[in-house]
A and B are shown apart, each in its own frame.
Chain A
Amino acid sequence: MKRTAALWLGLGWVGFAVLPWYLVEGGSLSLDLLSGWPRGAAGGGLFLGLLEGRWWLLPLALPLLAALIGLRLPTDDRRISDILVWAGIAGLAWFVFQGFAIGLRGWGGNWLVALFGAPGPKQEGMGYGAFLTALSFLMLLTHGLAARGFCRGDAFTVSSIGLIIALITAFVFFPIWEILVSAFKDNDGRFALNEFAAKFFDNSIWGLDCTYSSLRCGVAWNTLFLAILVGVGTTALGLAFALIATRTAFRFKGLLRILTVLPIITPPFVIGLAVILLFGRSGAVSAILYEWFDIPRSRWIYGLPGIFLAQMLAFTPIAFLVMIGVVQGISPSLEEASQTLRAKSWTTFSTISLPLMRPGIANGFLLGFIESMADFGNPLVLGGNFDVLSTKIFFAVVGASHDQGRAAVLAIILLAFTLGAFYAQHRWLGNRSYTTVTGKGDSGLPLPLPRRVAILCYGTAIPWAVLTIVIYVTILIGGFVKTMGRDYTPTLQHYLTGFAIERASWGIHFSGSAWNSFFTTIQISAIAAPLTAIIGLLTAYLLARQRFAGQRAFEFGTMLSFAIPGTVVGVSYILAYNVPPIEITGTGLILIICFVFRNMPVGVRSGIATMSQIDKSLDEASLTLGARTFTTVWRVILPLLRPAIVAALVYSFVRAMTAVSAIIFLVSAEYNMATAYIVGRVEAGEFGLAIAYSSVLIAVMLVAILMIQISVGERRLGRRSTSDVALQGAG
């Protein structure tokens, strides 16, 4: 404990004295900047404080000094922990205070202006040095708390909790706070409760006109209705696919797997686009129906049917990924036990297997529900007159009205819905134990699907698979023909525009217009995916395996970011991070952070679902054998978590590559993302290039997913597979 605390203290001094305290323009260091060191733009906080009049940085030295003295005390001195705790608290408190009190243009609050007069001292956004110093204070605090016996004295656990709380506070709560504050303000920045109430109870949100007249219902009801439909639908389909993939001898499992993964790797609006190209007024299917059966062309697809169809196509695979881990986790011996108790296979399935899957089913529904509510691309493309909250928010911000307050009010309503779903799921699952991977070796055969379940699964999954194939053929063809729906002349023109490579005198030149955003997207996604998986699974571990005060609040905080629609995240990030202390708009970092904290709940969910099926005595056995918590996590839990790791990595990589709602606000000329670029092409009417680029993205993500699958591998549990039953029976 003391040694790691000393290490963190050392890093704190490095951050405070050596590294550039403020954000360096452009994010990287040049020799030019370094020449002035330790003064100048790249100077350390200590020297800036001493030599350049940035006096407010100097108090940060006090806690660092106190910790230095504290750690020199003999090891069993109880005062060490007190000193570490107070040094950490004091350091963090002053750090945050000076960060918000002194901004880019002087004092950061009206009361400071009133007290000391304008304009006051100025400072820029925090850089590496400031970040490392803050981290050091946090770690001193957590190590001090661990020494006082928090979490059974486990420094790793306390530090992990502290780190995640700090990150969540900075990148989830702080932006929400910023946007919620604006809900209660009028557009001039004054507090206005009346205006808030008027916006909140508006008939366009809560109206029920559609129940008794031909008028439209409120946007809140629309959203809720759609989300429930999609949540139930995706869960049922996901379960059907999972059962077929794991419990039947279905011959085309590989194909099924790819089919179910395809929609997940497709930017959401592309599915919407393909649905229009097929079922729209001039769509391919509509044309066939008209010519063959004389069914008139109509706009029926715009509105609820179209959004529902597109969202089902888009979100079923997420449910599938969740469900497959759950179905695999059910101990076959439980099903065998049931069968020996004279339960027929249907009874076993309905009384044993299905109840055991309940956490997974609940997770699947929750995911589908929230995904539907947060989806932005499909309602944008297919919504027609059917408004949902996420698009309303978007138009409230970017539309002619530019009403941030209204956007914030809509966001609060959306948040209430998704949190309600979250709470209901918690109540429903209660405290039941679903541990089925026990420390006792487990042998047995999984139950083959009962006939009627198998028929039901095939009956729903196969038509769905066919529809998916049709959609993807459309997307594929779209890039190779002149104009989908009108002119089917084959052409490579769209691909050449986007992805031309020329041989120039200085080497290979990527002259296609899409290359820039393409490389940025790959780079940002590849950085964000492992970070998301690490933070997500670490959080899952803390929630499933540790007990500490405030755990419920912690869980709420970590899941919250999932419940915020991307449009709101985008706006709130701009509000929060355009000014110091965290000034990162326009960088690649803000994109990475946005992805990590938006996608982390999926890692948490799948981690918890898998971990709740791993017997806790495995951890304890490891601990009593002398392994520290970190070693236990690394050697025992992680290997058993492989399905969850795959899910988290795949999902976060793919989401990063396909996300559009949040990042459309955050991209810059330097860091443009593929989806934002494609949306731009769609707006410019270049559908061919947009569809071609989308197919390229899909292909890249397929390759990436296969690589992740292969490199992480399957978990080894030593369950018998069907093929070696004969051997086992003899032995």
Chain B
Amino acid sequence: MSKNGPASVEFRSVAKRYGTVTAVDNVTFTIEPGKLVTLLGPSGCGKTTTLRLIAGLEMASEGQILIGGRDVTRLSAADRDVSMVFQSYALFPHMTVLENAAYGPTVSGVPKAKANEMAVEKLGLVGLKGYEKRLPSELSGGQQQRVAVARALVLEPQVLLFDEPLSNLDAKLRRRVREDIRELQLKLNLTVAYVTHDQQEALAVSDRIIVMSNAAIAQEGAPRDLYEEPASLFVADFIGDANLVDGELSEIQGDRARVRLADVELQLRHRGARPGPIKVAIRPESLVLAAQRPAQQAVSGRIAKAAYLGTHMEYTVASPLGELFIVDRQVTQPYAPQSAVWISLADHGVTVVPA
């Protein structure tokens, strides 16, 4: 699809400083060609700055940035074969939809007729045929967003960047648009860097996720790796609302070890943790509730809060392990608040958090 095919993006020890403030600190990663990689993190973690460094809207203070193997560290935004979809969409308010979409080729010296043809093609791709003559202010939020995407696609860039593209859309539209973006990326075989603070969005669209915290990379990997094997408390907490529980690790055998959580004893992969007090991440759906004491080991608890969400119940349960957040698929006969329950652990979704 891209003139030169999708390109890789590589950061080598890149840092960005504004005076004494470090926005991005010694970051190294690679985005493989044709992959969608998400930069995920809370606001102020440096993810948007990282994206702007790829675009060339910010210049790195240190390190090297390569796109398609070529050093672009000192190139300006206009010289990089990269397009960006902005959070505010940044549609030019004085131009029609067609003029917006044709802007890239027009300013690169493509004849007007050809530029319009390219623009119409991409507008069709995002389903906006027939809207060419409108002004951005005459479109709905979702349509404006698609214009922004079409405009970014027209130049067939080596890398496409999204800066929180869904944040201005309503919830229902969000899922559709996010699926559309993913579909477009796969169909056109694009390299995409995608910034979001929404972990669900990240899990849904990404080939890989780079979790950022305090200007540095906290962890990177496939969505499943991050969810199941968080490398730190921050990642465990940020992705999937894990319960972080105090435990005691002992008797390391091979890659497994005995872990004690209150009255419960488990065999878990120790993931490099040393014997002694440790933290264990338990996913909300890996805690199993029962009214009677079950056969396997369990701790007792008391339902503090209960919420009905249609597909599942969400409970907050007071227990010897602390206050636990539990998701239960069983909705027909929910536990009433204040009722006593037994809590046991599923054989997945329970991990030792190293460090």
Contact = CB atoms under 8 A, between A and B. Distances in A.
B166 to A, nearest CB: 14
Contacts of B74: 149, 153
Interface string A592-622: 0000000000000000000000010110111
A105 interface: no
A631 B137 contact: no
A718 B137 contact: yes
Contacts of B138: 441, 443, 718
Contacts of A621: 84, 86, 90-92, 151
A626 B135 contact: no
B78 A626 contact: yes
Contact of A441 (B55, B144, B151): B144
B88 interface: yes
B84 A620 contact: yes
B86 A620 contact: yes
Contacts of A715: 94
Interface in A413-451: 437-443
A636 interface: yes
Interface string B61-85: 0000000000000111110101110
Given A441-B144, A615-B88, A625-B83, A152 B136 contact: no
Nearest to B77: A623
Given A617-B86, A718-B136, A439 B91 contact: yes
A500 B74 CA distance: 66
Main secondary structure of the interface of B (DSSP, over half): loop
Contact of B137 (A442, A635, A640): A442
A392 B77 CA distance: 54
Interface string B43-56: 00000000000011
Interface in A149-188: 149, 152-154
B82 A624 contact: yes
Nearest to B57: A620
A437 to B, nearest CB: 7
Nearest to A618: B90
A407 to B, nearest CB: 43
A717 interface: yes
Interface stretch (B33-41, B101-109, B285-293, B302-310): B101-109
B200 interface: no
Interface in B173-205: none
B23 to A, nearest CB: 14
Interface residues of B, number: 38
Contacts of B227: none
Contacts, number: 120
Interface string B226-262: 0000000000000000000000000000000000000
B86 A636 contact: no
B155 interface: yes
B94 A639 contact: yes
Nearest to A615: B88
B264 interface: no
Nearest to A717: B93
B352 to A, nearest CB: 43
B103 A622 contact: yes
Contact of A626 (B86, B89, B107): B107
B86 A439 contact: yes
A620 B88 CA distance: 12
B137 A617 contact: no
Interface in A617-655: 617-618, 620-629, 631, 635-636, 639-640
Interface in A432-481: 437-443
Contacts of B108: 626-627
B339 interface: no
A437 B93 contact: yes
A715 B135 CA distance: 13
B93 A718 contact: yes
Nearest to A614: B93
Nearest to A438: B88
Contact of B168 (A153, A440, A635): A440
A717 B94 contact: yes
B355 interface: no
B107 A617 contact: no
A719 B84 contact: no
Given A153-B76, A626-B155, A717 B57 contact: no
A603 to B, nearest CB: 20
Contact of B93 (A152, A153, A626, A640): A640
Contact of B104 (A437, A625, A719): A625
Nearest to B99: A635
B59 A153 contact: yes
B331 interface: no
A42 B139 CA distance: 63
A624 B93 contact: no
A503 interface: no
A716 interface: yes
Interface in B88-143: 88-94, 103-104, 107-108, 135-139, 141
Contacts of A154: 76
Contacts of A620: 55, 57, 77, 84, 86, 90
Nearest to B139: A441
A440 B135 contact: no
B104 A626 contact: yes
B136 A153 contact: no
B92 A636 contact: yes
Contacts of B87: 617
A627 B141 CA distance: 25
B152 to A, nearest CB: 8
B93 A442 contact: yes
Given A152-B59, A620-B86, A718-B93, A635 B107 contact: yes
Contacts of A628: 78, 107
Nearest to A728: B138
A625 B160 CA distance: 11
Query: Which residue, of A623, A716, A720, has the highest number of chain B Cβ atoms within 10 A?
Result: A623
Query: Which residue, of B87, B91, B94, has the highest number of chain A Cβ atoms within 10 A?
Result: B94
A622 B107 CA distance: 9
B106 to A, nearest CB: 8
B90 A617 contact: yes
A617 B92 CA distance: 10
Nearest to B91: A439
A639 B99 CA distance: 13
Given A624-B57, A625-B103, A440 B75 contact: no
B136 A617 contact: no
Nearest to A634: B107
A719 B57 CA distance: 30
Contacts of A635: 103, 107
B135 A439 contact: no
A625 B141 CA distance: 21
A641 to B, nearest CB: 10
A461 to B, nearest CB: 31
A719 B77 CA distance: 31
Interface in A694-720: 715-720
A640 B92 CA distance: 9
A722 B248 CA distance: 70
A142 to B, nearest CB: 15
A621 B78 CA distance: 10
A623 B103 CA distance: 11
Contacts of A442: 93, 137
A441 B151 CA distance: 15
User: What are the 10 A-B residue pairs with the smallest beta carbon separation, nearest first?
Assistant: A441-B137, A718-B135, A439-B90, A441-B136, A718-B137, A621-B90, A625-B104, A623-B77, A617-B90, A627-B107
Given A622-B92, A627-B103, A717-B94, 11 more contacts: A439-B92, A440-B91, A440-B141, A617-B90, A624-B57, A624-B78, A624-B84, A624-B152, A624-B161, A625-B151, A625-B152
Interface of B: 55-57, 59, 74-78, 80, 82-84, 86-94, 103-104, 107-108, 135-139, 141, 144, 151-152, 155, 161, 168
10 contacts: A152-B59, A441-B144, A620-B57, A622-B92, A623-B57, A623-B77, A626-B78, A631-B107, A716-B93, A717-B93
